[in-house]
Structure 1
Amino acid sequence: MKIIIIGSVAAGTSVAAKARRNDENADITLYNADYDISYSICGIPYFLGGEVDELETLTPRSSEWFKKRYNVDIHTRHEVVEINPDQKVVTVKKLNTNEIIEDHYDTLVFATGAAPTTPQIDGVEMEHVFHVRNIQNTASIHSYMQAESPEKVTIIGAGFIGLEMAEQLKHRGLDVTIVQRSNQIMPHLDKDMAFRVEEHLRANGVNLLLNEEAAAITETSVETTKGSVIDADMVILATGVRPNTKLAEQIGVELGVSGAVQVNEKMQTNLPDVYAVGDVAESYSIVTGNPLYRPLGSTANKMGRIAGDVITGGDLAHRGILGTGILRVFDLAVGYTGLSEKDAVMEGFDIEVLHNIKPARAEYLGGKEMVIKAIADRKTGRILGVQIVGEDGVDKRIDVFVTAISLKARAEDLFHLDLAYAPPFSTTKDPVMYTGMALQNAMDKKNRIITPQELTNRIQNGEKIQVIDTRAPKQYEVSNVEGAVNIPLAELRAEAKQLDPAIPTVTYCNKGVTGNAAQNVLINMGFEEVYNLSGGNKNYQSFSKSNQ
C-alpha cells in the first residue's frame, strides 16, 4: 500500500508514525512545501521572548530522523500542485529546482494545516510586519529584532498568539500595544471572564485598545479606523488562521460549515481513500455533536494517529473535542473547555451559571484565588463548560473538568470525586467539588444563584428585589451592590423581620460563602424566593467595571 501525506507538521507525521507501527510493509511518503517538519508552533513566542534559548529546540525531528526511526520518506520544499483522484496521481514541484515529478498513491491524506489570515490593511506587506506561524517567520522576527532593536511593537489581534507574544515581548523590554477590533480579548471566553485578563494585561504595562481596527501601517506607526495613531517600529499579525483547503477543494473534497474539510469519525472525506487531519480538518463538539473548528496541536496529533490507524486496518475513531485551551498571561493562567455561557444560550440550553472564587490550595501555604465559571444544563444536570482564571492550580482543575465533561458527568458527580488532598496542593473541599455542589444545589432550587448580569437585568426591567449585603459595615462602605442594604449575617435573624418574605431576595457577601449561609437563614424563615449572588460582591464589582 502506498500512502501519500501532504504536510508534515503535527498531524502528518502522526499519520505516518501510527501507520508504520501498524504496517511494516506500507510505502509512506510525506510531501511538505515548508522547510521544517514536526515543529512546535506553540513554542514560537517563548523563543522570541528568550525563555527558549535555541530555535532548533522547536524542531527536534528531521526528515533523516524519521527515515531512520520509521522508514518514512519526508520531502521538504516539495509542493503538491495537482492531484488526479481518478488515476490516484499527485504532481509535485521541487521548490528548490522547479523540477516537476509525479507520484502515485493508494491512500491520500491532507495534512495541509492552516495559514495565517492577512488582514486588508495598507502597509501590511512592509518588512517590519510579521506573521507568527512557522519557523521561517520566527527566524525573520528574531533577525529583525537583533538587527533593528525595535522598542515599540503593535500586535493586531488578541487571541492565543497575540497574548503570548504580548507577554514575551514585554519580557524583552518592548513597549507593547494590542489592537483588537471586538469589545473583548479571547473570543472563546465570556466577556466577564475576559475582562479579568484584560485588567491583568494593563496591570503589566500592555496598552490594550478594544473596539479598534487597524487601517494602515507605516514605517513608524499603526493607524486605526477611529483615527488613533500608535507608535510602532514592529508589527505582529495575530488575526487568526484559515484552513488550507484549496488543494482538497480542487478534487471535490467537501468542506464543513466551518470552512475546514468535513470528515467522519474515521477522518475520511467524501472521496474514497482520501483523508484529512489536523488544522485543515473540521472536528465536532462532544457536548452538542455540532461541527467545531479549533486548530490545536493536541487535536492534530490525535487526528493523525486515528487516520494512520484506520488506513492500516485499525478501528480507532475520533470522539470529538471540547475546544479546550489554556494560556499563560504573565503570572495568570487562563483555561477553558466546553461551551461558554453565550454558546450554551445560543445552543438553546436552559443553563445554571456559577462563579466560584476559591484558593487553589490552603491559604496558609500561599494559596491564591482562582475564579471558576461553570455552566450546567438544568434539564440533565450535565456540566456544559468551564472557564478558569487564576495564578495557581488552573491547569489541574481544567483537566478535571475536561475529563468530567467528556464522560458526561453531572454537577452532583463532581462533589463525589475522590480528589487528591493535602494543604500544599488543594483545599479540603476542592474548588472542583465545591463547584459541583453549588451548581447542584442551585438546580435543585435548594440554594438558587443569580449572576450579576441577571440581577442587573431584573432590576433594570423594573422588578422589585430586595438585596442584602451580609458583610461587615466597613466592607459595605468600600463597595457594594447598588441598592443593597447592609445586614451582617449575625444580625440577619433579628433584622429579617423588617423584610418582606414575598419579595424576591438576593443575599451576598464578598465571594459567596457567607451569602449562602444568609440565604439558608432566610429560606428557613419562610422567604419564598431567595438567591445567592454568584461570586459575591467581588464578582459583581468586576462585572460592573467590565460594562462601564
Structure 2
Amino acid sequence: MKQFDVIIIGAGPAGIITGVTAKKAHPNKSMLLFKEEEKGLVPCGIPYIFHTLNNVDKNVMGPKPFIDMGGIVETDSVTDVNIKEKSIQTLSGKEYKYDKLVFATGSKVIIPTFIPGYDLKNVFYIKKSYQYISHLFDEFQTKKNIVVVGGGFIGAEVAEQLAMNPGKNVFLIESEEQCFSKAFSKDLSKVATDELRKTKVKVSTSVKVERINETNGQVSSVLLSTGETIDCDAVIMAIGYRPNTELAKKAGLELNKRGAIKVDSYERTIEPDVCAVGDCSQTLGFLTGRSDYVMLASTATAEARVLGHNLFGVKIRKTFNGTLAVFSTEINHVAMAAAGVNETTAMAANIKILSAEFSDFDTHPDKFEDTKPLTIKLYASACEGSILGGEVWGGKSAGEMINTISLAIQKGVTVFEMISFQIGSHPLLTSAPTKTILIKAAEKIIDQIENMKR
C-alpha cells in the first residue's frame, strides 16, 4: 500500500490550487491528487461552450501546474475513506495511506424530483463533467426549442448563449420576480433581467414549471403554473448545486444543515489531519458568522491558498474570517458585479446601512468608440461608514472594480478613507479622476451621515 504525505480528493479549482500551493510551501512532501475524468472544465466557462467558444476543448482545465511541481495525479474515484486507519480505497481497487487528507469534492447539480417528468429523456443538467458537457454539446446541435429552468447565473448565461445560435428558440423560466435575485439587489436584478429580455431569450418570471410532458418517453412540452404550455424538444434544469459530500458523510465527517462539511477558519474538520475546501465545505457569512451558501471558484481558490500554506501547521494567519461572495456576469454586453451586502441581505441580517449611486463613463472624455456607461451602488454602515457592499454595472471594468470594493470590505475601509483613495487614470482606461465613481458614491454616503448628525 503506497503512502503519501497529502492526498487530495478532487481536481476542480479547490483541489488543484490546494495542491499547487501546498507543493510550493512544502516541496519535499509527497502529494497525490485524484480526478474522476481525464479532462476537467473551467466551471464558470461552461455556458460559453454553447456559442462563444463553440468547442468543449477550449474550456479545458487540468492539474498540469501541480504535476510540473512534482505532484502525482491519478484518474480514479475514491470510494471509501477510513479516518482511523488514515487510508483510502478507490474504484479500481487500489489502497493508499495518507498523513493529511483533503476533501475537494465540489458540488453536484440539484435534481428537481418534485417536478414530474424530471427524469425524461432530453431533460439535461449543467454538470461539471467534461464527458457530460461534451455529450450535451453534441445533443444541442439538433435541438431547436429549448426550455431553461432557473434564472441564476448558469441558467441565464446558458440560455443567452444557446439563443445566439441560428434556428433555436430558447425560453427561460424563473420562479422569482427577477433573475439573479439571490446574488444581486432588486435594482441590479431588474437591470440584469431587462438586459436578458433584450436578447433572443424569451424570459418568463414569477412563474414555475408544474410538469414536464412527454411523448414516447421523451420531452414534448412543459406546463407552467400560469396554465401555459411551451412545446420543446429539450429542457435544461439549472436550479442550483449542492455540496458533493456523500463520501465525507460515509467516512463519518460532520456536516452542517446545508449538507456541507464542517470546517474551521483554516479548512480543518473536527477529525485530525482531515480538511475540506471549496464547494463541499461550509462557508460562514462575513458579517453574521452564520452558515452561508457560497459556491464560487473564486471563493474556493481563496480557501485553497490558505489551506495549502497551512496544511502542516498554521504559517500564514487568515486575517479575514467569513466568506465574502463576489459575483460577476455579462448579459447582452453589459457587465454586472456585486460584493457583500445589499438592501435585501442587510434587512434580513438586521444591519443598518446607507447606500448611494453614481454613474459616469469608463473613459474620459466619453467620446471614444468603445466608451461604456458605468454605474456604482455603494453600501456602508449607517453608524461609522465602513463599506459593507457594492454593485457595479456597465462596461467590462465593472469586473475588476468589484474586486477593489471587495478588498475595501475585507480591510474595513470607510467611506471617509475612500475619498482620499489614490488612483491612477487614463483617458482610454478609466473614468475622469474628477469624478471617479467609487469616490463619488462614497462622498454621497458621507453627506448622508453628516445630515444624520444635524
> RCO higher in 1 or 2 (8 Å CA, sep ≥ 6)?
2
1:46-80 CA distances to partner (integer Å, 9 max, x unpaired)? 1211x225422322436xx467513322222x222
Give the Cα–Cα distance (whole angstroms) in 2 for the partners of residues 73 and 160 of structure 1: 34
Question: 2:407 pairs with 398, 403, 407, which one?
Answer: 403
Give the Cα–Cα distance (whole angstroms) in 1 for the partners of residues 300 and 266 of structure 2: 14
Structure 2 residue aligned with 1:459:
none
CA 1:68–1:278: 2 relative to 1, 3 Å: closer
Contact kept? 2:356, 2:442, Cα under 8 Å: no
Structure 2 residue aligned with 1:172:
165
Counterpart amino acid of residue 156 in structure 1: V
Give the Cα–Cα distance (whole angstroms) in 1 for the partners of residues 400 and 16 of structure 2: 29
Give the Cα–Cα distance (whole angstroms) in 2 for the partners of residues 32 and 87 of structure 1: 22
CA 1:432–1:180: 2 relative to 1, 3 Å: same
Structure 1 residue aligned with 2:118:
124
Structure 1 residue aligned with 2:359:
357
CA 1:166–1:67: 2 relative to 1, 3 Å: closer
Contact kept? 2:336, 2:392, Cα under 8 Å: yes
Shift of 1:252: 3.0
CA 1:329–1:105: 2 relative to 1, 3 Å: same
Counterparts of 1:274-293 in structure 2, within 5 Å, are 274-293=274-293
Counterpart amino acid of residue 179 in structure 1: I
Give the Cα–Cα distance (whole angstroms) in 1 for the partners of residues 243 and 289 of structure 2: 21
1:271-317 CA distances to partner (integer Å, 9 max, x unpaired)? 11110011111223334444333111122222222222212445234
Counterpart amino acid of residue 268 in structure 2: Q
1:198 has 2:204 as partner: no
Shift of 1:143: 1.0
Counterparts of 1:67-466 in structure 2, within 5 Å, are 68-76=67-75, 78-94=76-92, 100-120=93-113, 121-134=115-128, 135-146=130-141, 149-173=142-166, 174-186=168-180, 187-217=182-212, 218=214, 219-313=219-313, 315-318=315-318, 319=320, 320-362=322-364, 363-365=366-368, 367-424=371-428, 425-427=430-432, 428-445=434-451
Structure 2 residue aligned with 1:457:
none
User: 3-state DSSP class of the match of 2:226?
Assistant: coil
Give the Cα–Cα distance (whole angstroms) in 1 for the partners of residues 175 and 307 of structure 2: 38
CA 1:144–1:301: 2 relative to 1, 3 Å: same
Q: Which moved more, 1:127-136 or 1:356-365?
A: 356-365
Contact kept? 2:221, 2:229, Cα under 8 Å: yes
User: 3-state DSSP class of the match of 1:400?
Assistant: helix
Structure 1 residue aligned with 2:5:
2
Counterpart amino acid of residue 426 in structure 1: S
Give the Cα–Cα distance (whole angstroms) in 2 for the partners of residues 156 and 53 of structure 1: 22
CA 1:232–1:342: 2 relative to 1, 3 Å: same
Contact kept? 1:344, 1:384, Cα under 8 Å: no
Structure 2 residue aligned with 1:58:
59
Unpaired runs of 5+ in structure 1?
95-99, 449-527, 529-548
Unpaired runs of 5+ in structure 2?
none
Shift of 1:116: 0.6
Contact kept? 1:414, 1:435, Cα under 8 Å: no
Percent identity of paired positions between Structure 1 and Structure 2: 26
Shift of 1:334: 1.0
Give the Cα–Cα distance (whole angstroms) in 2 for the partners of residues 13 and 122 of structure 1: 38
User: 3-state DSSP class of the match of 1:445?
Assistant: helix
1:425-457 CA distances to partner (integer Å, 9 max, x unpaired)? 2122111110000011111117x9xxxxxxxxx
CA root-mean-square deviation: 2.2
Give the Cα–Cα distance (whole angstroms) in 2 for the partners of residues 289 and 360 of structure 1: 36
Which is greater in Rg? 1
Counterpart amino acid of residue 183 in structure 2: H
Give the Cα–Cα distance (whole angstroms) in 2 for the partners of residues 190 and 299 of structure 1: 20
TM-score of the superposition, structure 1-length normalised? 0.75
Contact kept? 2:210, 2:224, Cα under 8 Å: yes
Contact kept? 1:376, 1:439, Cα under 8 Å: yes
Give the Cα–Cα distance (whole angstroms) in 2 for the partners of residues 359 and 432 of structure 1: 12
CA 1:351–1:227: 2 relative to 1, 3 Å: same
User: 3-state DSSP class of the match of 2:223?
Assistant: strand
Give the Cα–Cα distance (whole angstroms) in 2 for the partners of residues 422 and 390 of structure 1: 18
Counterparts of 1:479-498 in structure 2, within 5 Å, are none
Contact kept? 1:188, 1:340, Cα under 8 Å: no
Contact kept? 1:155, 1:176, Cα under 8 Å: yes
Contact kept? 2:183, 2:327, Cα under 8 Å: no
Give the Cα–Cα distance (whole angstroms) in 1 for the partners of residues 316 and 211 of structure 2: 49
Give the Cα–Cα distance (whole angstroms) in 2 for the partners of residues 19 and 67 of structure 1: 9
User: 3-state DSSP class of the match of 1:364?
Assistant: coil
Contact kept? 2:360, 2:431, Cα under 8 Å: no
Give the Cα–Cα distance (whole angstroms) in 1 for the partners of residues 317 and 255 of structure 2: 20
Counterpart amino acid of residue 151 in structure 1: K
1:17 has 2:20 as partner: yes
User: 3-state DSSP class of the match of 2:139?
Assistant: helix
Counterpart amino acid of residue 191 in structure 2: R
Counterpart amino acid of residue 73 in structure 2: I
TM-score of the superposition, structure 2-length normalised? 0.90
| Alignment: residue pair count | 436
Shift of 1:212: 1.4
CA 1:349–1:314: 2 relative to 1, 3 Å: closer
Give the Cα–Cα distance (whole angstroms) in 1 for the partners of residues 22 and 400 of structure 2: 33
Contact kept? 1:245, 1:260, Cα under 8 Å: yes
